[in-house]
Amino acid sequence: MDRYTPEERGAYLLNNAVDAKDYKRARQAVEELGLDPDDIPHEKP
C-alpha cells in the first residue's frame, strides 16, 4: 500500500480540479490539511 505525504495529497487535489469552482474547493481542502496551496507546485485549471 502506498502512503502519500500531505503535500502529495494537496498536489493531487489541486492538479485534478477541472474548473474555477472546483479549484477553489481544492484550495480549501488543501488548507484544511494545514498546507498553503501556493507553496505546492501545481497547474491551475
Digits of tens for pLDDT over the chain (45 positions)? 899 999 999 999 999 999 999 999 999 999 999 999 999 999 999
Looking at residue 37, its pLDDT comes to 98
Q: Give the whole-angstrom CA distance, residue 3 versus residue 17.
A: 22
* 1 assigned to some structural domain: no
Tally of domains within the chain: 1
34, part of any domain: yes
Residue 11 lies in a domain: yes
In a domain? residue 45: no
Domain that holds residue 25: 6-39
User: 10 near 30, Cβ under 8 Å?
Assistant: yes
What is the DSSP-derived secondary structure letter of residue 33? T
pTM, two decimal places: 0.89
How far from chain centre, in Å, is Cα 3?
A: 16
What is the chain's Cα-based Rg?
Answer: 10
In angstroms, the CA 31 to CA 28 distance is 5
Answer whether residue 13 is part of any domain: yes
Question: How far is Cα 3 from Cα 27, in angstroms, rounded to an integer?
Answer: 21
